[in-house]
Amino acid sequence: MTGSSMAVEPPLLSVKNLSVAFPTEDGLVRAVDGVSFSVEKGKTLAIVGESGSGKSVTAQAIMGIIDRKAAKMTGEIWLDGQELVGLPAGELQSLRGSQVAMIFQDPMSSLHPFYRVGDQITEAISAHRSIGAKAARAEAMEMLRRVGIPAVERRIDDYPHQLSGGMRQRVMIAMALINKPALLIADEPTTALDVTVQAQILDLIASLQGEFQITVIMITHDLGIVADVADDVAVMYGGRIVEVAPTGTLYHEPEMPYTLGLLSSVPRMDRDVSTRLEPIPGNPPSPIRLPPGCVFAPRCKYADRVPDGACMTTRPELLQAAPDHLVRCHIPSEERREIAQGVLRVLTGGAA
Amino acid sequence: MVAYTVRRLILMVALLFALTAAVFFLFTLLPGDPARLTCAKACSPAIIEANRHRLGYDQPVLVQYGQFLGGIFFGRTFSSDSPQPIVCNAPCLGYSYTRHQQVLTLILNAAPVTFWLAVGAFLVWISISIVLGIFAALNHGHWPDRLVMGISLVGYSMPSFFIGLILIFFVVLRWNWLPFPSYVSPFDNPLRFLQTMILPWIVLAFLNTAFYMRLTRNQVLETFHEDYVRTARAKGLPERTVVVKHALRAGLTPLVTAAGMDLAALLGGAVITESIFSLPGIGSLAVNSVLQSDLPLITGITLFSSTLIIFANLVVDLLYAFLDPRVTIA
């Protein structure tokens, strides 16, 4: 995000007014609607939201793996000075895996069941570089060692089903980083893993990020892991960003009621045991029939605080609440902060 | 792998034993007297009784079954007390009294016809359906897809005897494009062989093509949505590699199982197609043996066809384990 305002370099990734819509028989599915954000080199941006909030589609748009025949895409995606939305398919293909790489939620289904893991990695190498089979294999072996695969000499010839879930995700990470990409998109990289393995994988990503100077976009629905890994957080809802802030700010001074709802539904160690987890009532909106006003308004406890029912009729803009802090909400800033502090006090049993 | 194969082969033999028993006993329960069928118009009670004794039909069923099994392993001699005994060497599947030939000889004479019919049809249907199925999947939801699926539906709905008769009527009788089908070996007269077989191949391949086109399309479409195809694309592989090496490789593998079993079933006799085109294959032989209540021939053909299917089952399983590393056989 805008992280340190001292930055001289332009951000590595800058998404401007990105929209992705899929025409279907039931109507136009607006999966992503006017999303803008940027990430500076070497930083980690977490994109948080429920299923259907548009976070994965945003990631796939940046990867350039959205089927252009099936989707309407507008806006701009600038990666290291190059615009991606208008790029021909061939040039996008050469960027994928070399400049931008991605790891996915379920490493079991993301690795091809018919090919040895070593071959899948060397395939990624030779897609972008002319390199001999032996050298490619040596490189794959080195990378597998780096991501913490034991007995690499044997494991490199294993099939994915012969590895554990954590090992498979390590292989996915090795495969993603083999060409030293500038940007790594991790789409719920730990969701399918055991809790004990989750932390290992997150640590691994963090250490590789430092080593290879990689910028990371971490897509997750789990605010619990965001605090440990992200510099900035963008909260998405109904295909749009509703709040962006540095991680500390988002946790301690959230303003958007949806963010409050997310925070209230995460179990926390410092939570007062007498307060119960509070789920957000209702369901996410249908991307075909979005509410006319604020997309969160139908589920928002505080929507009636805004006069004239503006929450139900007018789309709020994403506006600056503080230098690094953008919020999409009709409630006046002062009042939002009051509400937020009240909620946080209840969450931590008055300690905050 | 070797141990697995050996175990499967032993199981196969056990299964075939059970099968011969089932077939043998089932047919002895059928109404009709096999001894009566041996002499047609010449029958008198004395001849029938004499033949009954000569053919062993006066023995208990279990003894007859024992003799049948013994014949398979050691050979046997029919009418041993008559002046002209019939020696049937192992593996002896029996002797057909209606045709006065050994069952094995009859089957071996018919088998090449069915073999060429089945293999030719197999090549036709597999190549057409895979090409069109992939073509449809790549154009999912657009007119090529709809066209292929439409053809498939029509193919599905038309019985093969109908297509066969239509083809014979127009291509052979009305337009005289081809001579009337009459089987010759491809080694004796290749041109005549092709002229005879082209229509049976089309008819036999028709239904399977319709089915396999749909199967191929659905399989390929399904794998297009697999996560590992997305990964292949995310790696920056060329689209052709993504489709061929990642999607098709996984999507078409299950076809091996279905195609192998279907081919084996055809090798055991294509009854309708052989009858329409009067091809003297296993299918025609089977129909005639049933019509003539030729018990030894029915038993022999059943044994032959089921051996093919059971054997194909094993081959397909081994092949699948070879193609899909997740399948382990032990």
Flag whether the ipTM exceeds 0.90. Answer: no
Q: Are A14 and A81 in contact (CB under 8 A)?
A: no
Give the pLDDT of residue A253: 92
Tokens of A29: 């599915």
Low-confidence spans in chain A with pLDDT less than 70: 1-8, 267-276, 350-352
CA distance B210 to B150: 10
User: A65, B233: Cβ pair inside 8 Å?
Assistant: yes
Q: For residues B183-218, b (16+ Cβ closer than 10 Å) or e, as one string? A: beeeeeeeebbebbbbbbbbbbbbbbbbbbbbbbbe
CA distance B181 to B196: 4
CA distance B134 to A278: 50
Which residues in A lie closer than 8 A to residue B232 (C-beta atoms)?
112
Nearest by CB: A97 against B230, B234, B326: B234
Window 68-107 of A: residues touching B by CB (8 A cutoff) are 89, 93-98, 101-102, 104, 106
Fold type of domain A13-230: Rossmann fold (3.40.50)
Tokens of A173: 């990470």
Distance from CA of B247 to the nearest CA of A (A): 9
B91 CB neighbour count, 10 Å cutoff: 12
Dmax (CA) of chain B = 86
CA distance A243 to A321: 10
Question: Strand pairing of A44-48 and A232-237?
Answer: parallel
Picking from A252, A255, A229, the residue whose alpha carbon sits closest to that of residue A318 is: A255
CA distance A65 to A57: 9
Which residues in A lie closer than 8 A to residue B226 (C-beta atoms)?
109
Nearest by CB: B326 against A96, A109, A113: A113
Best residue in A114, A125, A175, A179 for a mutation probing chain B (most B CBs within 10 Å): A114
Phi/psi at A67 (5° precision): -65, 110
Q: Are A352 and A345 in contact (CB under 8 A)?
A: yes
CA angle in degrees (0–180, nearest 5) for A236-A38-A322 = 75
Nearest by CB: B227 against A93, A104, A128: A104
Phi/psi at A59 (5° precision): -60, -45
* All residues at 6 or more sequence positions from A54 whose CB lies less than 8 Å from its CB, including other chains: A20, A31, A32, A33, A35, A236, A238, A239, A240, A287
User: B234, A106: Cβ pair inside 8 Å?
Assistant: no
- Tell me, yes or no, if B228 comes closer than 8 A to chain A by beta carbon: yes
Which residues in A lie closer than 8 A to residue B142 (C-beta atoms)?
none
Residue with tokens 């279990």: B62
Q: For residues B116-142, b (16+ Cβ closer than 10 Å) or e, as one string? A: bbbebbbebbbebbbebbbbbbbeeee
Which residues in A lie closer than 8 A to residue B233 (C-beta atoms)?
65, 96
H helices of chain A, in order, are: 55-63, 89-95, 107-110, 117-126, 133-146, 152-155, 165-177, 195-212, 223-229, 247-252, 257-264, 310-313, 333-347
Distance from CA of A289 to the nearest CA of B (A): 25
In chain A, the residue whose alpha carbon lies closest to the alpha carbon of B321 is A114
User: B325, A101: Cβ pair inside 8 Å?
Assistant: no
Helix (H, G, I), strand (E, B) or coil at A288: coil
Picking from B236, B241, B231, B229, the residue whose alpha carbon sits closest to that of residue A129 is: B236
User: A109, B233: Cβ pair inside 8 Å?
Assistant: no
Give the pLDDT of residue B56: 77
The residue extents of the domains of chain A are 13-230, 254-348
Tokens of A28: 């136009």
Helix (H, G, I), strand (E, B) or coil at A106: coil
* All residues at 6 or more sequence positions from B27 whose CB lies less than 8 Å from its CB, including other chains: B295, B298, B299
CA distance A246 to B30: 87
Distance from CA of A174 to the nearest CA of B (A): 12
- Tell me, yes or no, if A109 comes closer than 8 A to chain B by beta carbon: yes
Which residues in A lie closer than 8 A to residue B253 (C-beta atoms)?
114
User: A110, B233: Cβ pair inside 8 Å?
Assistant: no
Which residues in A lie closer than 8 A to residue B325 (C-beta atoms)?
113-114, 159, 161
Q: Are A250 and A236 in contact (CB under 8 A)?
A: no
- Render A237-283 in DSSP notation, one character per residue: ETTEEEEEEEHHHHHHS--SHHHHHHHHTS--TTS-TTSPP-PPPS-
User: A124, B233: Cβ pair inside 8 Å?
Assistant: no
Q: What is the pLDDT along chain B (330 residues), one digit of tens a residue?
A: 788 888 888 998 899 889 888 888 887 777 677 777 777 777 788 888 887 887 778 888 888 888 888 888 888 888 777 777 888 888 888 888 888 899 999 999 999 999 999 999 999 999 999 999 999 999 988 898 999 899 888 888 888 888 888 998 898 889 988 888 888 888 999 999 999 899 999 999 988 899 999 999 999 999 999 999 999 999 999 999 999 999 999 999 989 889 998 999 898 888 888 988 889 999 999 999 988 888 889 889 988 998 888 888 889 988 888 888 888 776
Nearest by CB: A65 against B226, B230, B324: B230
Window 237-266 of B: residues touching A by CB (8 A cutoff) are 237-239, 241, 246, 249-250, 253
A7 CB neighbour count, 10 Å cutoff: 13
Nearest by CB: A110 against B228, B250, B253: B228
Interface size, chain A vs chain B, as Cβ–Cβ contacts under 8 Å = 69
Q: Are A72 and B243 in contact (CB under 8 A)?
A: no
User: A102, B234: Cβ pair inside 8 Å?
Assistant: yes
User: A161, B234: Cβ pair inside 8 Å?
Assistant: no
Length of chain B: 330
Which residues in B lie closer than 8 A to residue A98 (C-beta atoms)?
236
User: A98, B236: Cβ pair inside 8 Å?
Assistant: yes
User: B232, A128: Cβ pair inside 8 Å?
Assistant: no
* Secondary structure string (H, E, C) spanning chain B: CHHHHHHHHHHHHHHHHHHHHHHHHHHHHCCCCCCHHHCHHHCCHHHHHHHHHHHCCCCCHHHHHHHHHHHHHHCEEECCCCCCCEEECCCCCCEECCCCEEHHHHHHHHHHHHHHHHHHHHHHHHHHHHHHHHHHHHCCCCHHHHHHHHHHHHHHHCCHHHHHHHHHHHHHHHCCCCCCCCCCCCCCCHHHHHHHHHHHHHHHHHHHHHHHHHHHHHHHHHHHCCHHHHHHHHCCCCHHHHHHHHHHHHHHHHHHHHHHHHHHHHHCCCHHHHHHCCCCCHHHHHHHHHHCCCHHHHHHHHHHHHHHHHHHHHHHHHHHHHHCCCCCCC
- Tell me, yes or no, if B317 comes closer than 8 A to chain A by beta carbon: no
Give the pLDDT of residue A272: 63
Window 139-158 of A: residues touching B by CB (8 A cutoff) are none
Provide the CB-side half-sphere exposure for B328 (13 A, CA). 4
A213 CB neighbour count, 10 Å cutoff: 11
Peptide bond into B85 cis (omega under 30): no
Give the pLDDT of residue B184: 87
Distance from CA of B326 to the nearest CA of A (A): 7
Tokens of A155: 């494991």
